[in-house]
Amino acid sequence: MVLGVPDAAESTTVPSRRQVDAVLFDFHGTLAQVEEPVAWVVAAAAACGTTIDRGKATILADRLVTAGRAGGPLPRRIPIHLAEHWADRDLYEHSHRAAFTGLAETVATDVEGLADALYDRLLGPDGWLPYPDTEPTLRTLHEAGIKVAVVSNIGFDIRPHFAAWGLAGLVDAYALSYEIGRTKPDPAIFLRACGMLGVDPERTLMVGDTPADAGAVQAGCAALVLPAAEPGHANGLGATLTLAGCGG
């Protein structure tokens, strides 16, 4: 069962309800979004001891996002010297950093150390913004006794982010690609998450925002694919509660 959020003009088929014992969530684009690009550049430059005006930051942000930002659109091209790190970015911490700092370094700036400072914004909670419906959705599931895991293609630890946001107690397990050695849509990462929770995949729902998340179907899970939203905007995450049988 793969569900999406259809356009109003589309017809929908209501799926048959099945018992849900656990929900797996993607991280980026589902539970949280990276900070707005201009704010990202301004904050990273400040960490380097440089103050840049909004006009310059806007130009830099556009160029950096186009070159390839973690959490942003895929880059149009990958320089040959970064190809191996790019391929392994979600499997190894060093490759993740090397890939994204290397892409940032293709953009000319006069701020020394900016590429590393931009990457370091990812590693802390200040560089991200949870969606407004993330906390109430996770809390409702927790109070209903439904287990929760975060399943992410990522090259660094996001547990400190959830702790800083006061959400750590609402997540039972983390299946992170760089720790597990598998990436979505490989069914193995979803099966590992189910194993961590001690639940049957047939009674598990995966919620994400990309076709890779729908790969959970091959592991026997149901899947709900939502549209990613801009930072601070609701993305329909509350639909999870209805499918899990604990919402309206």
pLDDT of residue 235: 81
Strands 22-25 and 2-4 turn out to be unpaired
pLDDT in tens, 88-146: 999 999 999 999 999 999 999 989 999 999 999 999 999 999 999 999 999 999 999 99
User: Is 5 within 8 Å of 239 (Cβ atoms)?
Assistant: yes
Does residue 17 form part of some domain? yes
Whether the pLDDT of residue 16 is over 70: the answer is: no
- Full domain range(s) for residue 76: 34-127
**Whether residue 98 is found in the same domain as residue 64:** yes
**Whether residue 135 is found in the same domain as residue 27:** yes
- Of 108, 127, 146, which residue constitutes the final position of a domain? 127
Whether the pLDDT of residue 239 is over 80: the answer is: yes
Q: Which residue has the higher pLDDT, 14 or 65?
A: 65
Determine which helix (DSSP H) or strand (DSSP E) holds 180, and give its type and residue range: helix 177-180
Q: E strands of the chain, at which residues?
A: 2-4, 22-25, 32-34, 128-130, 147-152, 173-176, 204-208, 222-225
**Whether residue 123 is found in the same domain as residue 201:** no
Does residue 248 form part of some domain? no
Does residue 13 form part of some domain? yes
**Whether residue 120 is found in the same domain as residue 148:** no
Does residue 146 form part of some domain? yes
The number of domains in the chain is 2
- Of 99, 127, 155, which residue constitutes the final position of a domain? 127
Whether the pLDDT of residue 1 is over 70: the answer is: no
**Whether residue 64 is found in the same domain as residue 186:** no
- Of 104, 127, 150, which residue constitutes the final position of a domain? 127
**Whether residue 17 is found in the same domain as residue 87:** no
**Whether residue 6 is found in the same domain as residue 100:** no
Alpha carbons 240 and 247: distance in angstroms, whole number: 8
Alpha carbons 137 and 170: distance in angstroms, whole number: 10
**Whether residue 39 is found in the same domain as residue 155:** no
**Whether residue 61 is found in the same domain as residue 25:** no
pLDDT in tens, 35-84: 999 999 999 999 999 999 999 999 999 999 999 999 888 898 999 999 99
Candidates 70, 74, 98; CA nearest to 85 is 98
**Whether residue 234 is found in the same domain as residue 208:** yes
pLDDT confidence bin for 248, thresholds 50/70/90: low
Does residue 122 form part of some domain? yes
DSSP state letters, 28-94: BTTTEEEPPHHHHHHHHHHHTT----HHHHHHHHHHHHHHH-TTSPPPS---GGGHHHHHTTTT-HH
**Whether residue 192 is found in the same domain as residue 71:** no
**Whether residue 25 is found in the same domain as residue 42:** no
CATH number of domain containing 233: 3.40.50.1000
Say which residue the tokens 């909670």 belong to: 125
Alpha carbons 14 and 239: distance in angstroms, whole number: 13
Alpha carbons 50 and 36: distance in angstroms, whole number: 19
